Amino acid sequence: MSKLVRQELFKLYKKKSTFILFGAVTLIMILISVVSKTNPDIFEPESVFTSAYAAYAWIVFIMIIQASTIITMEFQYGTIKNLLYRNYTRSQVIISKCITLLIYSIGLYVSTSIIAIILKLFMSPNLSFLHKVNENMNLIQTFLFNALGNFIGLWLLISLVLLLSCIFRNTAVSIVIGIIIYFATSIVSGIMFLAIEKWEWLKWNPLNMLNLSGQISSDGEIASLTRLSIGQLFTGNIIYIIIFLFLVYVVFRKKNI
């Protein structure tokens, strides 16, 4: 299993897009931090820092691409047969890919969080980490909890994208559907909140769970719309992630090679 994970990580390392995409995100972070310093009315320093200078939003696209290709490319180039012929089981193959994506996503979040803190120190030195953002949390606490909320929400999306990748052999289809689902949260949120107000049991739908990071950084406005506490959103995300990953495991084991 460890050998499979190392192989998958090596594949990511050899892909030019791995470094190009990370470099692009870093450049965007730097540009936003500069604008927040020179034009704080456009990008308010406090809010852009807690969002890691928009890095977390762009990480979603990177991970959707990686999750969509990590399975479909094996079928597209026929390399999945080589893996199975080398005495690896289907369970080992799919679990190793999930572990690889987990390691990669943690690496992205840790590295961009460190870059965000460095940029904050240079661009907004007067903004204290202990500055109260709301009644419950200061700046650094909001930053860390926002990172955690985004990470959990990311994995809800990734688990669903992995499931789609197992169902469809077309990489483009998986990527497009994953991005559509990501944008669907903001597009249909108004309708969803109205539906939740009328039928409260709908608050447990997976799209509502994606509001976790937004609710963490808000003063309670979003909680009145989601009708769930942060703890309930966190638990709901974990449950859906487990369900989707289990379905990925089942579908991949039964998929025709």
**Interval 120-166: pLDDT, tens:** 999 888 888 887 777 778 888 889 988 999 999 999 989 988 888 88
> Percent of the chain scored above 90 by pLDDT?
30
Residues 6+ apart with CB under 8 A from 140: 129, 130
Residue 251: other Cβ atoms inside 10 A: 16
| Number of structural domains found in the chain | 1
> Helix crossing, 139-167 with 90-123: angle to 10°?
150
CA terminus-to-terminus distance, the chain: 20
The H or E element containing residue 47 is helix 45-50
Residue 33: other Cβ atoms inside 10 A: 24
**Distance (Å) of CA 140 to CA 50, 143, 180:** 8, 5, 32
**Interval 33-91: pLDDT, tens:** 999 988 888 888 888 998 899 999 899 989 988 888 887 776 666 666 666 666 677 78
pLDDT band at 5 (very low <50, low <70, confident <90, very high): confident
pLDDT of residue 75: 67
Please check whether residue 162 is in contact with residue 172, taking contact to mean a CB–CB distance below 8 angstroms. Answer: no
**Interval 24-35: pLDDT, tens:** 999 999 999 999
pLDDT band at 188 (very low <50, low <70, confident <90, very high): confident
Which domain covers residue 98, as residue numbers?
Answer: 2-254
In SS3 terms, 207-237 reads as: HHHCCHHHHHHCCCCCHHHHCCCHHHHHHHH
Alpha carbons 227 and 237: distance in angstroms, whole number = 15
Phi, psi at residue 168, to the nearest 5°?
-100, 145
Residues in the chain, total: 257
